[in-house]
A and B are shown apart, each in its own frame.
Chain A
């Protein structure tokens, strides 16, 4: 195919030559001079079978024989390469990801910086210790912590992960988790962002080419039964990110004995108490709220849709909305909102329009909007009912008499709760955490940190590794007598 040689690979298949792969399709992102062309293999069941066979062989022959600390070291080295802003894959990511995803280059740079910090070796050790107690359970039979006997833990031989494209870099976390469990991983890139995971896999290959043979990143059209039958029937674990419909589609096709984990639609919001609405700290509160509502252009499931703001403080909720608007503007100057689709722009403009007309007639509504385009929008609305945002930095501020009132307001969406960002005194923070925990939220964090969970976060209330691991126990102590 002409031109494909110069386009960027949207796949990582270590050990496969272009001739082995055969045919490619071209993926196009952006327009005009900003156009990015990537090439992606045309997957066939037979090619995938070969890929899977190689992944399993690499897992068995190499990955499973490494000690967990050797794996951590390799990952740490690969991640450390990205610390250098001149590292060619990093430069490539910084140049291309804005064009591919639409996120501003500042947003991409910040994402990369955070990834480098998050996936450091010491954090990986912490994650393993947190979930397993002793990481060496992955390497050998070890005495149990309380009971008699010993046990060892085994990861899946092959994990398949179906990614979503809202937050760049998300697949890197899953690649790392899989490797920590000594599992090979076959990732299905989101069509919106097939680059970053491929670049990261290349970094792994730089540090340890043998280990990188346990990682494959490809793209196929979701729902392709021929392909998915091969993939799902060969996997020990399947992880899916996406909307309810796509998750259910995959769920139906995964054999019943296979571990299946779905990360479906979730939503988050923030709560701001009186104690943070006083003159000397309200500016900081607003700045933290602006970070939460702006990072990843609000596309993450950790991004807030609404801020509930308590009445009765020095700064009233309506006034807070104005301050938040100023901080949204400050943030936007530093890290601009990315490119969005005409549909998304139209939705924001229509939303602004309808609130603007209500603002003309009633005191209960106020609209603050970026002076140009739809970069950010803050809507103050007295009606406290929870309304999902149309995203891309469009946030509502709603007053509550007492933060306790939030519990009832949020009940209609309790099945979707994810993160609650809270600016509250310690005591009220704990009370709120318990109420939200009961409703199903899996993370209560300080305002300003909503989109930056720790590596040990119980994503969707579950363990990141433990849910995929399998234990083998030895009950009798050997050679006892």
Chain B
């Protein structure tokens, strides 16, 4: 006897079929075209599942007067603000049954971090989605590279964010030998990284350096202070993500790319900015290397895989903006199987061609004058 007759139970036929269809859609890869109908059909089914199996989300939708069957297009699926994941478990099964709980890095307040509950199905979809979403953009010729990761090794700090978990899987599949880590309990091991990059220059074996953007800023400052720069072998690439606001300074994306090229000799088409978040079970990254290899002339932007859609909404009204206008990014992702597929971020960006570009994160409320803003108060209290 099946455990339950609930149509939307995790082991129900409906859910299994949906998982199968979404998995197949993802596995068809990033090259598939004309996916609008397919995406829409699966999105509406996934909404039906999440509406029926995720009680708080159902109430949230009900307040907006939206339920499955009433809507015809994925654009109408209510998006959940990212902050909601900090408050309550948002999943399609009892949270205590989660196989794995991921957390956001919680940059502003470590006490308040988003939590994403995944069961085996959700985890499998996360694996698949990450594997298929950016591989073409990071390794357009299917090549393998030496991976130099400016992050602590997983035995030191187990990955608890979706992007760390996901990227480790991607990198493991395309790394010659083992991933080399350049961070430990004490912080970045910059001397070791310098030595490793020198070795790459000597051997001519290209490397893929991965770091949060601020890690590069830190490294470049170190190199500048020592008068060091590199000319890394052809095919080497730098992957960055997380924003350009360092503890001591903030630079523009353009300035970052110029600096990175100057310091490492890596050309702009091998400087790949990634965009991920724990609330989204898909990674995004720049199209530059892919376009370079495939002879496509296009500006730098992020093209989401076919199982995602990204739109830009007015920060004030949350209504969709027209292409090119800057607003808040909202993502719809079929790999968000166990959680909520429509996520309203506070990342500022704009739509370009079939994709989007990120401008930065909304800074939160900064008081204009003598009144005190939340962040400042928190820092003043030393909390």
**A343 and B365 within 8 A (CB):** yes
Instruction: Name the contact of A373 in the complex, choosing from B81, B316, B346, B373 (C-beta under 8 A).
Output: B316
**A165 and B371 within 8 A (CB):** no
**A353 and B363 within 8 A (CB):** no
**B82 and A166 within 8 A (CB):** no
Q: Is B293 an interface residue when CB atoms closer than 8 A count as contact?
A: no
Bound CA span A303–B372, Å: 10
Min C-beta distance of B28 to chain A, whole Å: 33
Q: Is B178 an interface residue when CB atoms closer than 8 A count as contact?
A: no
Assuming the contacts A350-B82, A361-B56, asked whether A373 and B317 have C-beta atoms less than 8 A apart, the reply is yes
Q: Which of A325-355 contact B (CB under 8 A)?
A: 340, 342-355
**A416 and B372 within 8 A (CB):** yes
**A357 and B56 within 8 A (CB):** yes
Residues of B contacting A342 in the complex (Cβ-Cβ under 8 angstroms): 315-316, 326-328, 348, 362
**A357 and B88 within 8 A (CB):** yes
Q: Is A299 an interface residue when CB atoms closer than 8 A count as contact?
A: yes
Min C-beta distance of B324 to chain A, whole Å: 15
**B368 and A349 within 8 A (CB):** no
Assuming the contacts A266-B371, A346-B315, asked whether A360 and B59 have C-beta atoms less than 8 A apart, the reply is yes
Interface-central residue, A346, A348, A349, by most chain B CB under 10 Å: A346
Residues of B contacting A133 in the complex (Cβ-Cβ under 8 angstroms): none
Bound CA span A355–B112, Å: 13
Bound CA span A387–B383, Å: 13
**B315 and A353 within 8 A (CB):** no
Write the chain A residue with the least CB distance to B328.
A346
Q: Which of A349-392 contact B (CB under 8 A)?
A: 349-358, 360-361, 372-374, 387-392
Q: How many residues of A contact B (CB 8 A)?
A: 52
**A388 and B380 within 8 A (CB):** no
Binds B, one of A49-57, A239-247, A465-473: A239-247
Residues of A contacting B326 in the complex (Cβ-Cβ under 8 angstroms): 342
Residues of B contacting A266 in the complex (Cβ-Cβ under 8 angstroms): 370-372
Interface-central residue, B59, B80, B83, B381, by most chain A CB under 10 Å: B83
Instruction: Name the contact of B60 in the complex, choosing from A298, A303, A351, A360 (C-beta under 8 A).
Output: A360
**B368 and A192 within 8 A (CB):** yes
Min C-beta distance of B248 to chain A, whole Å: 14
10 interchain residue pairs of minimum CB distance: A166-B369, A353-B81, A164-B369, A346-B362, A390-B365, A354-B83, A345-B315, A342-B315, A265-B372, A166-B368
Residues of B within 8 A of A (CB): 56, 59-60, 63, 80-84, 86-88, 90, 315-318, 326-328, 344, 346, 348, 362-374, 376-377, 380-381
18 residue pairs A–B, Cβ–Cβ below 8 Å: A164-B370, A165-B368, A263-B370, A300-B371, A301-B370, A340-B316, A342-B315, A346-B315, A346-B362, A349-B81, A350-B346, A352-B81, A353-B80, A353-B84, A354-B87, A358-B88, A360-B59, A391-B371
Given contacts A350-B82, A357-B80, A416-B380, 11 further A-B contacts (CB under 8 A): A166-B367, A192-B369, A241-B370, A266-B371, A267-B372, A300-B370, A342-B326, A353-B83, A360-B56, A391-B373, A413-B377
